[in-house]
Amino acid sequence: MKVNEIFIRIRYGETDQMGVVHHANYPLYLEMGRTEWLRTFGISYSKMEKEGVMLPVISMALKYKKSAYYDEVIKVKTQLKKTPSVKIEFDYVITNEADEILVEASTVLAFINMKTKRPMKCPDYILDKL
């Protein structure tokens, strides 16, 4: 399945006093990776929301292996796990500049109809692009 990579420079505000990235920032990095992955197909959250589709995270798992540090550039590699249905699943690997694995993660998001607040099938326009 399609893979996308983004690069993020760690900002001072994302770290503790020792310059280590706080664990709570990694879900934000995953979101950035996922958003850019979708963008490579011409899909954006704002477009989906205008069409009445929400995509909330319903499950997230992270395995922290090593720390990232202030001013490092990390790579977030995002990959679609399988063809979406009512859910869309991603796997991620975050590495540092030495290509060492910092975090392995996965997320599951559900397609939700904004009017009914109920799960829905992945829109055809998304499936067609994948």
Chunked in runs of 10, what are the mean pLDDT values of the chain (130 residues)? 92 94 96 95 91 96 97 97 95 98 98 96 90
Domain CATH code at residue 100: 3.10.129.10
- In the chain, the number of structural domains is 1
pLDDT of 1: 67
Q: Which residues pair with 3 in a beta bridge?
A: 79
The single residue listed with the structure tokens 């893979």 is 3
* Burial track 18-45 (b if 16+ CB lie within 10 A, e otherwise): eeebeeebbeebbeebbeebbeeeebee
User: Quick one: pLDDT at residue 130?
Assistant: 81
Catalytic, 16? Answer yes
| Residue 22: domain span | 3-129
